[in-house]
Amino acid sequence: MPRPQYNRRMATTLRQSKNFIGGEWVDAASGETFESTSPADGELIGVFPKSGPDDVDRAVSAAREAYEHWRLVPAPKRGELLYRFAQLLVERKDEVTDLMTHEMGKVAPEAGGDVQEAIDMSYYMGGEGRRLFGQTTPSELRDKFNMSVRMPIGVVGAITPWNFPIAIPSWKIAPALVAGNTVVFKPATDTPALGQRFVELLDEAGIPKGVVNIVHGGGGSVGERLVRHPDVPVITLTGSRDTGVTVMRNGAENLKRIHLELGGKNAIIVLDDADLDLAVNGIVWSAFGTSGQRCTAASRVIVHEKVLGELSSRLVAAVEKLSLGPGWEDETDVGPVINRAALDKIHSYTKIGVDEGAKLLTGGETASDGDLAKGFYYRPTIFGDVEPGMRIAQEEIFGPTTALIPVKDADEAIRVSNGVRFGLSSSIFTQDVNRAFRAMRDLEAGITYINAGTTGAEVHLPFGGTKDTGNGHREAGQAALDVYTEWKSVYVDYSGTLQRAQIDNA
């Protein structure tokens, strides 16, 4: 199927961008700026305000003031605004997709999928405006009515990464808004133009002044102040484990509600009865889609020893056919990684793997021939003869690298899959229903796929992981609302007398 044809330059017109605070587009208090450039070819995308604590304080003040009005807007009306926002994303999907191929580097079909996730999430959470279910229960006393309701909390600080620069903001901001909270949004400094476009479309949809604010800048100056600010009771972060630990520590003094989505070291299990053609397709998509820059990427492939040789040869052949290049070119299968630091880190793990005794089957080098030298490209890399305890099998690389780990049976495969500190996504390829159900029960992960790869999520189910992947909260589905609401229990006594609790009447 031919890829959709986009206007390649429609979204990358250079302009001086600003923060959005209290419904106004304003410069950083310092007057300083930083640049966003394309990882594909070094193109200058835009210039953005290099904000600091004073800018965060202004944004929080605006959000706190707006909260007193927004929390009283009926939830169905809050949901209608999200519908309008979703429709604007539908209308501008090609434009935002094109911008993503330039600023973040995703290939066009994946970038379009990123935008589609935001569309789906906004429609889904818009519908929650007519639900936001609580509970009613029978009372233990006569003439008394009991119920629980969801209440908004206040100002939400949303700190988002660069790898899903439209989808992940929607995962955080849409449920926060429909629940009645206001937002201060700090997008990643690698993808500020996409964060800016997100907020511009919310503004166009009619978001009231101060309900959503965006402050551009680094984690040390903007993110830390947001996390420590006493008037921001909720922080939601997607990032690395180390960053998550720091955020929890810095938010502890004010007993903030901290929602963390952190790392992954996901595995695909391929058993001896697997459909190998299907498994290879799943591995290629899971390990090398988005250049491996996904928290759900399959950086481990745990293979039954009976099919290891066949799977390995098929996988290497498939990967060596992948084409590297800018995401806006139709023939590109794998785009750049996000920046020079990422490129250096990925390559350092290739050396680590070789030093540990793993066998480099393909890739393992920077791609710098021709126009690829203008960007940050790494050739898709596969290691064989990997032992479960090796660093390349334990540590998150966040690049186009995967490791083949041989096992003797299904039980060993599950033990190896579980033998890491993370627990986000898991997968098993098998045609045995009994093995599949055991895997569904025993794999220690927030997500399990049967006969599919480790990537992809549907917005109406919870997304998140176990162990060091997070701190127990979830994105998406109704579970996301638990991050952005407090439960209130309400009792209505219509007996006309003072009734004590049933326990006091014993």
Q: Are residues 243 and 307 in the same domain?
A: no
Q: Are 66 and 211 in contact (CB under 8 A)?
A: yes
- Asked whether residue 238 is assigned to any structural domain, the reply reads yes
**Does the residue 461 lie in any domain?**
no
Any domain includes 14: no
Say whether both 335 and 255 belong to one domain.
no
pLDDT of residue 152: 98
- Domain containing residue 325: 266-450
* Residue 320: per-residue pLDDT: 97
User: Same domain, yes or no, for 253 and 388?
Assistant: no
DSSP string of 290-341?
GGG-STT-EEEEEEETTTHHHHHHHHHHHHTTPPB--TTSTT-SB---S-HH
497 inside domain: no
Sign of the dihedral defined by the CA atoms of residues 341, 343, 347, 352, in that order: positive
Contacts 24+ apart (CB under 8 A), 349-355: 349/391, 349/392, 349/395, 349/397, 349/399, 349/401, 350/381, 350/401, 352/391, 352/392, 353/383, 353/386, 353/390, 353/391, 353/392, 353/401, 353/403
Residue 30 belongs to some domain of the structure:
no
**411 and 277 fall within a common domain:** yes
State whether 172 and 72 are in the same domain. Answer: yes
CB 296 within 8 A of CB 448: no
Distance CA 446, CA 295 (A): 12
- Residue 225's CB is within 10 A of a number of other CB atoms, namely 24
Are 152 and 64 within one domain?
yes
The pLDDT value recorded for residue 457 is: 85
pLDDT tens digits, one per residue of 158-178: 999 999 999 999 999 999 999
pLDDT (0 to 100) of residue 501: 75
- What's the structural domain count of the chain? 2
Over residues 24-40, the pLDDT tens digits come to 999 999 999 999 999 99
Q: What is the model's pLDDT at position 6?
A: 35
**Same structural domain for residues 249 and 270?**
no
445 and 474 together in one domain: no
Residue 495 lies in a domain: no
Is 261 a residue of the active site? yes
How far apart are the C-alpha atoms of 355 and 368, rounded to whole Å? Answer: 24
| Catalytic pick among 103, 117, 128, 295 | 295
In a shared domain, residues 232 and 367: no
Q: Which of 402, 420, 450 lies at the terminal end of a domain, its last residue?
A: 450
CATH number at residue 57: 3.40.605.10
What is the C-alpha to C-alpha distance for residues 320 and 363, in angstroms, rounded to an integer? Answer: 8
* Together in a domain, 315 and 429: yes
Contact 268, 301 (CB under 8 A): yes
The reported pLDDT for the residue numbered 203 is 97
- Confirm whether 204 is a catalytic residue: no
Note the pLDDT of residue 335: 97
Closest CA to 386 of 359, 368, 365: 359
Closest CA to 439 of 454, 460, 461: 454
Residue 10: the pLDDT is: 42
For each successive 10 residues of the chain (506 residues), what is the average pLDDT? 39 70 97 96 96 98 98 98 98 98 97 97 98 95 96 98 98 98 98 97 98 96 97 97 95 96 97 98 97 97 98 98 97 97 98 98 95 97 98 98 98 98 98 98 97 92 95 94 97 94 64
- In this structure, the answer to whether residues 236 and 316 fall within a common structural domain is no
The pLDDT value recorded for residue 59 is 98
Does the residue 498 lie in any domain? no
pTM listed for this prediction = 0.94
- Residue 381 — φ and ψ, nearest 5°? -125, 135
CATH no. for residue 279? 3.40.309.10
Q: With respect to residue 233, please indicate whether it lies within any of the assigned structural domains.
A: yes
Tell whether 115 and 163 lie within a shared domain: yes
Q: Which of 103, 110, 117, 261 is catalytic?
A: 261
